[in-house]
Amino acid sequence: MAGRILLLVLFMNAVFSIVNAVPETCPADLGGKCGEDGEWEGEFFPGVPKIKYEGPSSKNPLSYKWYNAEEVILGKKMKDWLRFSVAFWHTFRGTGADPFGAPTKSWPWEDGTNSIAMAKRRMRANFEFLNKLGVDRWCFHDRDIAPDGKTLKETNSNLDEVVALAKELQGDKIRPLWGTAQLFMHPRYMHGAATSSELGVYAYAAAQVKKAMEVTHYLGGENYVFWGGREGYQTLLNTDMERELDHMAKFLEAAAAYKKKIGFNGTLLIEPKPQEPTKHQYDWDAATTLNFLRKYGLLGEFKLNIECNHATLSGHSCHHDLETARINGMLGNIDANTGDPQVGWDTDQFLTDVGEATMVMISVIRNGGLAPGGFNFDAKLRRESIDVEDLFIAHISGMDTLARGLRNAAKLIEDGSLAELVSKRYSSFDTELGAEIEAGKADFEMLEKKAMEWGEPKVASAKQELAEMIFQSAL
């Protein structure tokens, strides 16, 4: 979830709003879009129709070329393999600001405030967007959808008011893929949340997660995510790493206990991230996070939410971290995005590489799907893309890319050539001795005897180029 709503971004947005003295009701230049009560009237996206599947030959940018929701692939509908979700923070709170520049985006319905009225307007825009896109899931941070109050009680009241509207707008067909608490932006979390050196911050973070979990449950959310944006350190010289890790484990234990207490049946997810904003974050990658869960006896309580851009920042491919989570039975959800190899930070771009999407979908198919998880578009428009239409184009492109990846992965599986190549490579273990090794029944004395008997072993080609040829032929 990184690169999302960084403190600098929202700070610059606030400054931008103050400097330009934006009114607190409706924007001044809407051409009659606001009613007498200051509420938005009509559609938020009047020039955009409901997005439909038109096939690969379509030249219409506001149509699906590869994503056909009801089409059956390998015995399951595309919509059930992919379970797409829109990220509220990037889509409706993204401003285009970056560490070197002020905001570039101001959607027509924005009035420059972070008021309750504005929060409700954004929520209405969110559901119109979901309906036109044909997506029935969304994700949120608590502070993205409702503003802070002067006290925690007031903040919770603000959240309740906006969530009540969201519940009404959802109806029976839409629900959150997951919710989470934003424990990284506010200055109180400068040293972390669950790993903060300050007891008061630890308690405040617990209260915030408690409330966020409650509203996620109330909205029918299918999962709840923990992203330790500042759970890490800048230097070990002033850090008791063991104590911080112990505290984080106790925090997660308490969260799992509270989930059961309130009857929330959703999956608890941890999202690995190597660095940025901290120098080193404790949930560095899938393997590191799995080791943490094993050490503290939490494997049965959590699964992983793998973000592709985070995997590459940790030095892996997205496919690697997905497979690491999958073979451990811990793949729960995917944040579908990518980074730029020429840029050294979390750029949260929409995934448009068909080859990468195909490898991602190979893992998903091997996993039997992601439900109750799915694909969340934790991705944002580029700073220079400022038209409302761009929000749709970006999501359509990302959805089509993953749908195309699903089709390609199915083609590879049905063809069987790649699986046959892999099986043949390990065929020497498909013997009596191989079976004994894999069953843990072959000791070193037995293996030494065989080595003496057989002499120098023959080593076969790995056929890497053939594997890549087979893979590319499916794209």
Annotation marks residue 320 as catalytic: no
Q: Are 350 and 379 in contact (CB under 8 A)?
A: yes
Alpha helices in 280-387 (DSSP H): 286-295, 308-313, 318-327, 354-366
DSSP states of 216-254: HHHTT-SEEEE--TT-EES-GGG--HHHHHHHHHHHHHH
Q: Catalytic: which of 90, 141, 247, 316?
A: 141
- Radius of gyration in angstroms for the set of CA atoms belonging to the chain, rounded to a whole number: 24
Element spanning 11, H or E: helix 7-19
User: How many whole angstroms from its chain centre is CA 133?
Assistant: 18
Neighbouring-strand partners of residue 280? 233
Sole residue written with tokens 């999501």: 395
CA distance 167 to 122: 14
Neighbouring-strand partners of residue 140? 179
Q: Are 126 and 165 in contact (CB under 8 A)?
A: no
User: Which of 390, 380, 311, 312 is closest to 350 using CA atoms?
Assistant: 380
Peptide bond into 272 cis (omega under 30): no
Side-chain half-sphere exposure of 218, counting CA atoms within 13 A: 16
Q: Which residues are catalytic?
A: 141
